[in-house]
Amino acid sequence: MKIDFTFDLNLRNVLRWILGTVLVWAALGKLANLQEFYALLVAYQLPLPDALLRFTGAVLPWLELLCGWLLFTGFRLKAGLGWTVILLFIFAICSGQAWWRGLHIACGCLDLRLVGIRPGSGMAGWLESVGFAFLRALVLLAAAVYLVRRQFAPSLSEQN
Amino acid sequence: MKPVPGSDIVREMFTIFCAAVVLGLAYNRSSPLGISFSEPASASAAAPAGKMVASPEALLPAESDPALHNETITAVIVSSGPQTQELAARQLPASLPWTEVKSLLANGTIVLVDGREVSAYQAGHIPGAISLPLQTLADKIGLFSAHYPRNKPLVVYCASIRCLISQAEAAALTGQYGYQNVREMPGGFAEWRVAEPSVTPATGDNP
């Protein structure tokens, strides 16, 4: 049992760091050009007021950055995980509906230029498609939900 | 009194949200690429078609986004008369912002081509644009070229700055189908929506 517990603890840390890295990556790309991010939000053609889209464009990157930092450091982890689940759920809904509607838009999630992938290349088109973004959001959401369940579950010492 | 379970977490989450709002609005205000919360400057303030535009920067809205603007800092001279208009179109850069496309579209110098799927075009497109989806380009090019000769300047757009359809379609129209003057509007439908918030997108099929 001890081996399982150690493995689980490591898995939790790895998932936490992966989610934190993804959120910080997503935030930095948006913060580099808020207007571009706003234009990408508009491209989703969501039935939302323009003022809300502008507010989202300004605030969402910082929410991602704060969540990523909290996940990475483990500080206020439960609150950070709570926001992470909410954000990933919204990402999944938005990218999923765009995929369903057949919108050929970039998801605007991760700026691939930060890892040296040039926009316009075939690989970038695939990685930035809303279909891939939807599947990625589901996987990350599953990881975040797993972490929430583990984090909020009573510890072994409390159960005994 | 026993605290409600989870209330601490909700309070912490609210604090995180408030911090994000404060940081986001402060950063947005200080960033040169920040989002304007006031009504965007209308592109209708641009110089009218047919006039010489000495400074193309004057065509751009006040909150012009360099990312949307791309490399189009070049002089644009549009004068009346079909031959001179065509010549002017040839001199245009490979990509154009909406502020420049608007006047060219208004005076009939260019044909604006929507490269997105038909469903996206039907849901909403730039008024005056013609639907020519990249996916069905090979099927529809015959009908399109019957209406628009190969020397007619075209400007292709898709959804937004990161979509790749307009770039690919412009290349295909030039390389495969012999159109001589094809440009791209990289900001796409999203750039138009940002620049023209008061204009309702056109809906339905091709005119």
User: Does A23 lie at the interface with B, CB-CB under 8 angstroms?
Assistant: no
Residue in B16, B67, B123 closest to A36 by CB: B67
Per-residue pLDDT reduced to its tens digit, B56-93: 333 333 333 333 333 332 233 333 344 444 444 444 55
List of domains in chain B: 43-195 (3.40.250.10)
Q: How far is CA A15 from CA A34, A68, A69, A145, B64, in A?
A: 28, 12, 14, 11, 40
Report yes or no on whether pTM surpasses 0.80: no
User: Does B171 lie at the interface with A, CB-CB under 8 angstroms?
Assistant: no
Give me the mean pLDDT over the A93-116 stretch. 82
Residue listed under structure tokens 């230029």: A113
The ipTM is 0.87
Give me the mean pLDDT over the A126-154 stretch. 90
Domain of residue A105 covers 2-153
Residue A158 belongs to a domain: no
Residue A159 belongs to a domain: no
Per-residue pLDDT reduced to its tens digit, A34-60: 877 887 787 787 888 888 988 999 999
- Count up the domains in chain A and report the number: 1
Three-state DSSP at A49 gives coil
Per-residue pLDDT reduced to its tens digit, B4-33: 667 889 999 999 999 999 999 999 998 877
Residue A124 confidence class, pLDDT cut points 50, 70, 90: confident
Which residues are CB-neighbours of A64 under 8 A, at least 6 positions away? A23, A24, A26, A27, A30, A87
Give me the mean pLDDT over the A79-99 stretch. 95
* Cα gap B41→B104, rounded to integer Å: 19
Given a cut of 90, is residue B46 above it in pLDDT?
no
Say which DSSP state B77 is in: E
pLDDT of residue B111: 94
CB A71 within 8 A of CB A19: yes
Residue in A34, A108, A128 closest to B33 by CB: A34
Per-residue pLDDT reduced to its tens digit, B105-149: 999 999 999 988 787 788 789 999 999 988 788 889 999 999 999
